[in-house]
Amino acid sequence: MSGAAETMEFQAEVGRLLRLMAHSVYSEKEIFLRELISNASDACDRLRYAAIANPALVDGNSNFEIRISIDKENRRLIISDNGIGMDRDDLVKYLGSIAKSGASDFLATLEATSASDKASAHIIGQFGIGFYSTFMVADTVEALTRKAGDSQAWLWKSDGEGAYTVEQSEKASRGTDIILTLKEEEGEFLEAFRLRHIIRSYSDHIPIPVLLSEDLNGDGEQANAGRAIWTLSKTEATDEAHREFYSHVGGMGEGPWRTIHWRAEGSLEYSGLLYLPSSKPFNLFNPERKSRVKLYVRRVFITDEAEELLPGYLRFLVGVIDSEDLPLNVSREMLQRNAVLRQIRTGVVRRVLREIEEGAKADPEGYQGFWNNFGPVLKEGVYEDINNREALLKLCRFQSTESDGLVSLEDYISRMKDGQEAIYFITGEAGRNLAGSSQLEGFKARGIEVLLLTDPVDDFWPAAVGIFSDKPIRSVTQGGEDLDKIQKTEAEEETAASDIDPLLSRFREVLGEAVKDVRVSKRLTDSPVCIVADDGDLDLHLSRMLQQHGETVPRSARILELNARHPLIQGLSGKLAQKSFSEEVEIYARVLLDQARIAAGEPLEDPSVYGRRIAELMVRGL
């Protein structure tokens, strides 16, 4: 039985995507078949899991398979599965729209990628929009489907030109048939030898038989190995098989940086096949921090949204964990409080961190690329995961004032100066010249290395950690750093006796509550002034960042430090005794405070007042 067809417009992002797909020439169009086989495999996995609670859904047919049939006469290619199927609402939801976050990112990536670049075809799988790759090769695409447990079938149809239709239809059994009417120039995809090559290249690892038939009536021959790669031994799984499985689960064409393949045995038994990516996924910093590792129980797919399986700071991992001990009927709610899953999580995290450490030692150059992609995410773990903090800190790499490359905390400690007691850092926005900050001058003069931290998480983890290898971790913009224990330069020795106490008192009097204190600086060598946070107050950059994000931050006056060796400060100090200069000192005090604020990235209360004061000093100078 069939009813009138209902015509609907594609979501705007889908329409734009289809136009790009249909009119682009990619060097690897065959990936459409990889994507359809992957979708069919997922549909079978989801029915297998649903049938645990409701066996009637499989209706006595639990032998899952994917069938590819060639219809040369009508230029059609049909990809069929006996998985969970779809109803009308599913068709509209899954084939008529894309998640907004993925759509905009994919379109931006697609438009920025050369159509002749092989990587452009591989990125399709990463964004969950693989179905639409069919319009690269097909004039029309149909989806004839019947949901498991339903008697009503539905037909979805589109030519990719802005609209699609959905109507009631008939289908003898559950599952989905994707029917492609190929473009005239895409006849290669009606040749069995070509299809067999594609299946072996891209889908050999699919743990469901993929049957290829050269007509609509034949039984077909299995074209893939059909064995889950994580069940193989490390010696059986080839590099090529790993690359294809990585592409399947991660949607990325180039191979991973490292592969972690192991089997845990003992009180708990589970298999792990995880990949450390070589490139950054588009949604790495999505606030939801979703994992991309699939959870299986005894080769039965359970979920790809097991938030409890891995901590958020390892969300870049791609792969599979297959447990022998979890119950097959485990629900999402049960996963949240399952003791076995918590034990698996502990073991997996330790294994991954150990593998990353080994990779850093064995392939320092490759690790630098990995760190550039995922370092900011791993540092989230430094802040969040107390149990694994030490292991994570050993993995951290930083820019510094004394190195062109990345340094570890252990490297830093090995280069500490005699008398240096702490690990020093400064935080700021990426792109800002942190190395040129006035607050670093005294450290540079003494040859003290300072870590340059520019990731948002860098504002939080140092305070949470506090210490590494018995060395305190301190911000150079906070407190009165005692640099006297480290050898001074000759210039500092010569001018250290300069007495500017009267000037300090006058500045305190003029500035009042605008500052917490005015004092001689031990950190300045070239600049006349700087501001710092007092011990116990928020770091300058952290306070500013929290305010920018709408957080209520207790307002703390800053400490103004004067460089007693700077000619300007010495000149002001020398002229202070002149009564006629008293008013001018007031202007200098306020201008220098504003200059220190600007240098530290702090906002001025009234820039126009600052401008007038500068102009007044210029007039007096003339």
Predicted local distance difference test score (pLDDT) of residue 120:
45
Predicted local distance difference test score (pLDDT) of residue 25:
45
Sign of CA dihedral 608, 613, 614, 618: positive
> CB-based contacts of 516: which residues, under 8 Å, 6+ apart?
534, 556, 557, 558, 559
Number of H helices, E strands in the chain: 20, 23
Between helix 582-599 and helix 607-621 the angle, nearest 10°, is 130
CB 413 within 8 A of CB 393: no
CATH code for the domain defined by 6-226: 3.30.565.10
Predicted local distance difference test score (pLDDT) of residue 143:
96
- Based on the number of CB atoms within 10 Å of its own CB, is 619 exposed (0-12), middle (13-18) or buried (19 or more)? exposed
> φ and ψ at 103, to 5 degrees?
-65, -50
Alpha-carbon distance values, 251 to 120, 474, 524 (Å) = 11, 41, 51
Going by C-alpha positions, the residue among 404, 268, 399, 377 that lies closest to residue 312 is: 377
Strands of the sheet containing 153-158, edge to edge, are 6-9, 163-169, 153-158, 138-146, 175-182, 76-81, 66-71, 210-213, 221-222
CA-to-CA distance for 524 and 495, rounded, in angstroms? 13
Q: Which residue numbers in the chain have pLDDT < 70?
A: 1-3, 13, 15, 19-27, 98-129, 253, 332, 431, 479-482, 484, 487-498, 538-555, 579-580
> φ and ψ at 147, to 5 degrees?
-75, 140
Predicted local distance difference test score (pLDDT) of residue 533:
84
Residue 533 gets which letter from DSSP?
B
At 204 the three-state DSSP class reads coil
Residue type, 520: V
CA-to-CA distance for 164 and 115, rounded, in angstroms? 26
Going by C-alpha positions, the residue among 361, 241, 381, 270 that lies closest to residue 316 is: 381
Q: In DSSP terms, which residues pair with 467 in a beta bridge?
A: 472
The b/e string for 245-257 (b: 16+ C-beta within 10 A; e otherwise) is bbbbbbbbbebbb
Tell me the residue ranges of DSSP E strands in 435-575: 450-453, 467-468, 471-475, 515-520, 529-532, 558-562
CB 508 within 8 A of CB 518: yes
Going by C-alpha positions, the residue among 403, 391, 395, 349 that lies closest to residue 374 is: 395
Residues of the chain with CATH 3.30.230.80: 230-385
At 143 the three-state DSSP class reads strand
Element (H, E) at 388: none
Predicted local distance difference test score (pLDDT) of residue 314:
95
Predicted local distance difference test score (pLDDT) of residue 372:
94
Q: In DSSP terms, which residues pair with 222 in a beta bridge?
A: 211
CA-to-CA distance for 45 and 553, rounded, in angstroms? 50
CA-to-CA distance for 3 and 17, rounded, in angstroms? 30
CB 406 within 8 A of CB 452: no
CB 426 within 8 A of CB 450: yes
Alpha-carbon distance values, 510 to 505, 529, 530, 541, 604 (Å) = 9, 16, 17, 26, 17
Predicted local distance difference test score (pLDDT) of residue 110:
53
CA-to-CA distance for 421 and 440, rounded, in angstroms? 17
Question: pTM, whole model, 2 decimals?
Answer: 0.72
Residue type, 36: L
> φ and ψ at 150, to 5 degrees?
-105, 155
Kindly indicate whether the domain formed by 397-621 is annotated with CATH number 1.20.120.790: yes
CA-to-CA distance for 251 and 124, rounded, in angstroms? 7
Phi-psi region of 531 (alpha: psi -120 to 50; beta: other; left: phi over 0): beta
Predicted local distance difference test score (pLDDT) of residue 342:
92
- Based on the number of CB atoms within 10 Å of its own CB, is 240 exposed (0-12), middle (13-18) or buried (19 or more)? exposed
- Based on the number of CB atoms within 10 Å of its own CB, is 180 exposed (0-12), middle (13-18) or buried (19 or more)? buried
What's the pLDDT tens digit per position in 173-221?
999 999 999 999 999 999 999 999 999 878 887 889 999 999 887 788 9
Would you identify the CATH topology of the domain 230-385?
Ribosomal Protein S5; domain 2 (3.30.230)
- Based on the number of CB atoms within 10 Å of its own CB, is 56 exposed (0-12), middle (13-18) or buried (19 or more)? exposed
Going by C-alpha positions, the residue among 141, 131, 158 that lies closest to residue 6 is: 158
The b/e string for 508-522 (b: 16+ C-beta within 10 A; e otherwise) is bebbeeebbbbbbbb
Residues of the chain with CATH 1.20.120.790: 397-621
Neighbour tally for 461: CB within 10 Å: 22
> CB-based contacts of 619: which residues, under 8 Å, 6+ apart?
none
Residues of the chain with CATH 3.30.565.10: 6-226
CB 124 within 8 A of CB 28: no
> CB-based contacts of 387: which residues, under 8 Å, 6+ apart?
none
CA-to-CA distance for 585 and 589, rounded, in angstroms? 6
What's the pLDDT tens digit per position in 25-45?
455 788 889 889 989 998 999
Tell me the residue ranges of DSSP E strands in 342-422: 398-400, 403-407
Q: In DSSP terms, which residues pair with 424 in a beta bridge?
A: 450, 474
